[in-house]
Amino acid sequence: MKIVVLKFGGTSVGTIDRIKKVADIIAKYVKKKYKVIVVSSAMSGVTNDLVNKSNNISNDFSNAEYDVLVSSGEQVACALIAGRLIHKGYNSRSWMGWQIPIITDDDHKYSKINTIYKKNINQYLKSNGIPIIAGFQGINFDRRITTIGRGGSDATAIMLAKFFKAERCIIYTDVEGVYTTDPRKLKKARKIKVISYEEMLEMASLGAKVMQPVSIQDARLSRIDIEVKSSFNNKRGTLITKRKNIVNRNIITGISSTQNDAKVTLVGVIDKPGIAASIFKPLSESSINVDMVVQNISANGKETDLTFTIKSDDLNKTRKIINSNKNINFKNLLFDKNVSKVSIIGVGMITTPGVTYRMFQALAKNKINIQVISTSEIKISVLINKKNINQAIAALHKEFKLDK
């Protein structure tokens, strides 16, 4: 069977008119002789409304019941899509995760798909049926509904493409693809035609919101090519694929930025073996993600200043944890929420010297001060004052000729 997996995000199914448009898109693939597996998110705004309801019921709402509650949004969207296809004369029906079943681990709210039973869906495809499968959900071995984390419908689509050996996996959303940077921050942002898994993973983890990092990692491990495109027009999107499929590569592929970082500095920490572990262990145990880290040793070698970044939402919790930590001694604790991280990403920098200099020089020319630096093989990130973020993006976009 020639199978294609089509995933539609919340904005794509956000209204009845948009659901009718989605049905038209599905029909086009059927006419091209594809066996179509459809994955749908909940209608835009529905999941947030359900989460708010759970918060109003309890500030410690059961994780298991949370999964039952928020997974109901996809059920509505799937039924509406199937109903429209039936109206158009096609054989279609909705499938919840438990009906297939999609088996996950037991971690409520953040489950991972372990296996997908194919028999029922294969039989339905062979009978020319169009299954509309609820994204974001599955069932564990206790027969309880589980969810895969926000943005989990992408993961559902990618795993279905893997298990059913689909020829294509297309993610339909409200943007035309992946851009060199956020087009809302820079009008000269350009749509990227092809990007590697590694670059897309870095861009997503550093602020690009087109796809969730975990979904890209799933695609990379399973070698599933993904096309990201708009459900609102028929323009070509962005192909996410392996590096060797890409030719004529730029040095830098894209620029990402964040708006919700905070900088934490411990001044005058008594320096001794294991001190960093003593600081970061209780943060890790409280699920606080530490990102950029820099350490400065004093001239006498007895004290150090340690700076790191976290999400600004974790600031109050971090303050309490550090102040109550009896295993560390320091002179002062400083916080700064007026910071943003800007990153350049590209596998081309692996073999190209001078990229770091060009980045720092471009920022210096615009009088933008760098506070913290972190690097990996294919990205360089710097922490700057939040007020300079748009200026920094524009300068770097121009320096690496991403608008051409």
Q: What is the pLDDT of residues 128-164, one digit of tens each?
A: 999 999 999 999 999 999 999 877 899 999 999 999 9
Rounded Cα–Cα distance for residues 98 and 116 (Å):
10
Integer CA distances (angstroms), 100 to 9, 61, 103, 358, 402, in order: 21, 28, 9, 52, 44
The whole-chain average pLDDT of the chain stands at 92
Residue 291 lies in a domain: no
Q: What is the mean pLDDT of residues 114-118?
A: 96
24 vs 248, residue with greater confidence: 24
Q: Are 65 and 108 in contact (CB under 8 A)?
A: no
Distance CA 39, CA 152 (A): 11
Q: Domain of 136: which CATH number?
A: 3.40.1160.10
Mean pLDDT of 326-351: 92
Residue 208 has pLDDT above 70, yes or no: no
Better-predicted residue by pLDDT, 149 or 112 = 112
Domain count across the chain: 1
Flag whether pLDDT at 320 surpasses 70.
yes
- pLDDT at position 12 over 90: yes
Residue 157 lies in a domain: yes
Query: DSSP for 163-230?
Result: HTT-SEEEEEESSSS-BSS-TTT-TT--B-SEEEHHHHHHHHHTT--SS-HHHHHHHHHHT--EEEEE
pLDDT of residue 25: 97
Provide the pLDDT for residue 299: 63
What percent of the chain is helix, strand and coil (3-state, nearest 5)?
35, 25, 35
How confident is the model at residue 357, as a pLDDT?
95
Q: Does residue 181 register a pLDDT over 70?
A: yes
Q: Classify residue 348: in a domain, yes or no.
A: no
Residue 310 confidence (pLDDT):
94
121 pLDDT above the threshold of 90: yes
Closest CA relative to residue 292, chosen from 368, 229, 206: 206
Element (H, E) at 307: strand 303-311
Residue type, 190: R
Confidence of residue 31 (pLDDT cuts 50, 70, 90): very high
Domain that holds residue 170: 3-174
Pairwise CA distance, residues 401 & 84, whole Å: 45
Q: Which of 176-185, 303-312, 361-370 has the highest mean pLDDT?
A: 361-370
Cis bond before residue 183 (omega within 30° of 0): no
* Residue 28 located in a structural domain: yes
Angle (deg, nearest 10), helices 72-87 and 63-70: 20
pLDDT at 301 over 80: no
Q: What is the distance, to the nearest Å, from the Cα of residue 188 to the centroid of all Cα atoms in its chain? A: 23
Q: In the chain, what percentage of residues exceed pLDDT 90? A: 75
Q: Tell the burial category of 54 from Cβ atoms under 10 Å away from its Cβ (0-12, 13-18, 19+).
A: middle
Report the pLDDT value the prediction gives residue 280, as an integer from 0 to 100.
Answer: 94
Q: SS3 of 139, please?
A: strand
Q: Is the pLDDT of residue 246 over 80?
A: no
Q: Are 263 and 312 in contact (CB under 8 A)?
A: no
The stretch 235-253 carries a mean pLDDT of 84
The answer to the question of residue 372 being in a domain is no
Residue with tokens 């009906």: 99
- What is the DSSP-derived secondary structure letter of residue 255? E
**Residues 385-389: contacts with CB under 8 Å, at least 24 apart:** 385/338, 385/339, 385/340, 386/259, 386/338, 386/339, 386/340, 387/338, 388/340, 389/185, 389/257, 389/259, 389/340, 389/342
CA gap 224, 202 in Å, rounded: 17
Question: Is residue 403's pLDDT more than 80?
Answer: yes
Task: Examine residue 48 and state whether it is found in any structural domain, yes or no.
Answer: yes
Is residue 248 very low, low, confident or very high in pLDDT (cuts 50, 70, 90)? low
Classify residue 230 by burial, with Cβ atoms within 10 Å: 0-12, 13-18, 19+. Answer: middle
Place of tokens 């399973």: 222
CA 158 to chain centre: 13
Give the pLDDT of residue 303.
Answer: 84
- Tell whether the model's pLDDT for residue 207 goes beyond 70: no
Residue 194 lies in a domain: no
Q: Taking residues 241-246, what's their average pLDDT?
A: 80
Confirm whether 221 is domain-assigned: no
The 10s digit of each residue's pLDDT in 262-289 is 999 999 988 888 888 999 999 999 889 9
